[in-house]
Amino acid sequence: MNEKQMVGEKAAEYIKDGMVVGLGTGSTAYYTIKKLGELVRNGLNITGIPTSEQTAKLAVEQGITLVDFKDVKQIDVAIDGADEFDTNLNLIKGGGGALLREKIIGNAASTFIVIADSSKGAEKLGAFPLPVEIVKFGSEMTSRKIAELGCEPILRLNGNRPFITDNGNYILDCDFKQIDSPDELELQLNMIPGVVENGLFVNMAKRLITIENGELVEKTR
């Protein structure tokens, strides 16, 4: 069993009968959804809210009932991966392009659980380029404004065309090298007109499940 499978399946243990579950996107969350599908087939009764069209498809294949935000009052637990996490459990997310929906669902959840393999940990964030979702209109100007904060924004491509999110927007991957104040940068980015959301998840994760020295480790905040 690889590390992603280990942490993904461990997170499924926090899901109880009757819960509304935020379902993450990516190669680690894949294992959580697969495990939840197995539990559903064995009698677990849950409903899910997916963070992407890709996740919705997988959840349906696994027999997990999906609902819309309009049909629920709260999300009990959201489980999602991370591209990088620091010692304070702040995150960079968005490598899969679903950062906006991931942040909406993570913020709406009573408990947000992050699952990540041992390669994703860092003292400070920034080794992984920060994804920033922006609207198409005026994207060149938005990119220049973001660059003034100390990075080189690169438009994400899908082949030789711009990558388009599930929300119809572009993503800029922004290399800040090292992010000393993620809470401050998050606010600065979201104040730029044209920025929809950024991949800094600050003070959101309540629990991190990861691997250290080959063993499962859980950290809480």
Catalytic residue (choose from 102, 133, 186, 197): 102
The reply, when asked if residue 83 is annotated as ligand binding, is yes
Sheet holding 91-92, edge to edge: 84-85, 91-92, 200-201
The reply, when asked if residue 26 is annotated as ligand binding, is yes
The reply, when asked if residue 28 is annotated as ligand binding, is yes
Are the CB atoms for 7 and 209 separated by under 8 Å?
A: yes
Half-sphere exposure of 128 (CA within 13 A, CB side): 23
CB-neighbour burial class of residue 63 (10 A; exposed 0-12, middle 13-18, buried 19+): exposed
The reply, when asked if residue 180 is annotated as ligand binding, is no
Residue 193, helix vs strand vs coil: coil
Does the annotation mark 102 as catalytic? yes
The residue ranges of DSSP E strands in 167-206, in sequence order, are 170-175, 195-198, 200-201
The reply, when asked if residue 97 is annotated as ligand binding, is no
CB-neighbour burial class of residue 149 (10 A; exposed 0-12, middle 13-18, buried 19+): middle
- Cα separation, 23 vs 49, whole angstroms: 6
The reply, when asked if residue 120 is annotated as ligand binding, is yes
The reply, when asked if residue 71 is annotated as ligand binding, is no
The reply, when asked if residue 117 is annotated as ligand binding, is no
The reply, when asked if residue 81 is annotated as ligand binding, is yes
The reply, when asked if residue 25 is annotated as ligand binding, is yes
- Cα separation, 80 vs 32, whole angstroms: 9
Please enumerate, by residue number, every residue annotated as part of a binding site for substrate.
25-28, 80-83, 93-96, 120
Could you list the active site residues? 102
Binding residues: 25-28, 80-83, 93-96, 120
